[in-house]
């Protein structure tokens, strides 16, 4: 049976940047083995399958697969899938509720540009923040090829989830971020006991006094400028160019520590896939993650049931 498929670049304002995604429509009846096989075929970090919702409060069910396994939730697959669903339904602006293994998430999308490339905005309020244990800084840094001196002087690594657990690892400066060399068996050993998916290294400008940083953040609509690199627990997925499900936990972590209520995260630069993610803590205390989405390829795929 032929089904519609859409390839998109998420957390990017132009084609061929950000984090790539494939979305398959009308995926009811496709077996898990076929979903996994096609996810491996695309060679993207995630491929999603739109199915009929099981919860009456949802518009559709979003099944999210890596080339290795199904995920209960993820960031860029949520935003990209919502854009795909809106396009297929002929809507230029929509508020949709997706059903995932992590529950229900409202996603808002709107078409922004037609030329030189079609572009959409998308945002999603993530699940309630769950703060896990702090991690040993030396072990966390060593898994990324860094030294204990590369640790942030005040903020320890910690497991944080807003639907999917990640290790948030603040480092001393951008130079440490650039030196990172992932040891994937060590990353797996660090994250697996916590069911965490990505080691998220982050840095921001600590050279200027706090008052100056606060003034700069105010000029940027309250967002702290952060650089990030995300290394997946599974070696075949390697480095992630944009990790929306980690941007929310990062923002929640920094807010809890009194550093920032909103962040603007640049990621994927070292990979040649520059991405921009925005996250902020809303009044309810939950993180909202936003970014741009660029549809890239419309087509069909023939998959067995």
Distance, in Å, from the CA atom of 95 to the CA atom of 86, rounded to the nearest integer, reads 9
CB 280, CB 287: distance < 8 Å: yes
pLDDT at 283: 84
pTM beyond cutoff 0.85:
yes
CA dihedral 168, 171, 175, 178 (to 10 degrees): -20
Distance, in Å, from the CA atom of 240 to the CA atom of 205, rounded to the nearest integer, reads 22
Beta-carbon-side half-sphere exposure of residue 213 (alpha carbons within 13 Å) = 16
CB 288, CB 244: distance < 8 Å: no
pLDDT at 222: 75
**pLDDT, tens digit, 9 for 90 and up, residues 14-29:** 999 999 999 999 999 9
Distance, in Å, from the CA atom of 22 to the CA atom of 44, rounded to the nearest integer, reads 8
Give the rounded percent of residues in the chain with a pLDDT score beyond 70.
Answer: 95
Split at pLDDT 50, 70, 90, the class of 82 is: very high
Residue with tokens 């999210």: 64
Residue with tokens 């929509």: 94
User: Does 160 have pLDDT greater than 70?
Assistant: yes
Give the rounded percent of residues in the chain with a pLDDT score beyond 90.
Answer: 89
Question: Can you say whether the dihedral through the CA atoms of 185, 191, 192, 198 is positive or negative?
Answer: negative
CA distances from 1 to 4, 22, 26, 84, 304 (A): 10, 17, 10, 19, 7
pLDDT at 211: 46
Split at pLDDT 50, 70, 90, the class of 172 is: very high
pLDDT at 284: 85
The C-alpha angle 122, 124, 130, rounded to 5 degrees, equals 150
Distance, in Å, from the CA atom of 116 to the CA atom of 251, rounded to the nearest integer, reads 32
**pLDDT, tens digit, 9 for 90 and up, residues 188-239:** 999 999 999 999 999 998 644 454 545 454 445 679 999 999 999 887 779 9
pLDDT at 206: 66
Average pLDDT over residues 258-264: 97
Paired tokens of 194? 């916590």
How confident is the prediction for the chain on average, in pLDDT?
94
User: Does 30 have pLDDT greater than 90?
Assistant: yes
Average pLDDT over residues 38-56: 97
pLDDT at 260: 96
pLDDT at 13: 93
CA distances from 189 to 8, 184, 201, 225, 245 (A): 32, 8, 17, 30, 21
Split at pLDDT 50, 70, 90, the class of 65 is: very high
pLDDT at 208: 42
Q: What are phi and psi of 68, to 5 degrees?
A: -115, -30
């Amino acid at each position: 049976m032929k089904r519609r498929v859409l390839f998109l670049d998420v957390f990017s304002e132009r084609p061929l940047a950000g984090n790539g995604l494939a979305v398959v429509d009308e995926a009811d009846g496709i077996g898990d083995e076929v979903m996994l096989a096609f996810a491996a075929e695309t060679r993207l970090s995630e491929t999603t399958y739109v199915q009929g919702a099981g919860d009456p409060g949802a518009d559709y069910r979003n099944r999210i697969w890596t080339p290795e396994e199904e995920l209960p939730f993820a960031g860029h697959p949520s935003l990209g899938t919502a854009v795909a669903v809106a396009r297929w339904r002929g809507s230029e602006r929509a508020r949709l509720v997706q059903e995932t293994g992590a529950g229900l998430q409202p996603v808002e999308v709107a078409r922004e540009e037609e030329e030189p490339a079609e572009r959409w905005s998308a945002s999603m309020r993530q699940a309630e923040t769950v703060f896990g244990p702090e991690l040993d800084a030396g072990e966390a840094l060593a898994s990324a090829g860094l030294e204990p001196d590369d640790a942030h002087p005040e903020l320890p690594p910690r497991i944080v989830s807003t639907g999917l657990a990640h290790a948030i690892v603040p480092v001393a400066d951008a130079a440490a971020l650039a030196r990172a060399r992932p040891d994937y068996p060590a990353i797996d050993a660090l994250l697996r006991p916590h069911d965490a998916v990505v080691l998220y290294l982050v840095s921001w400008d600590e050279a200027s006094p706090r008052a100056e940083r606060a003034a700069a953040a105010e000029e940027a609509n309250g967002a702290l400028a952060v650089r990030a690199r995300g290394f997946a627990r599974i070696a075949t997925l390697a480095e992630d160019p944009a990790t929306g499900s980690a941007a929310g936990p990062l923002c929640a972590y920094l807010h809890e520590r009194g550093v920032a209520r909103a962040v603007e995260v640049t990621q994927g630069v070292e990979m040649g896939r520059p991405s921009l993610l925005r996250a902020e803590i809303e009044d309810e205390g939950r993180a909202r993650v936003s970014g741009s989405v660029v549809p890239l390829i419309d087509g069909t795929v023939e998959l067995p049931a």
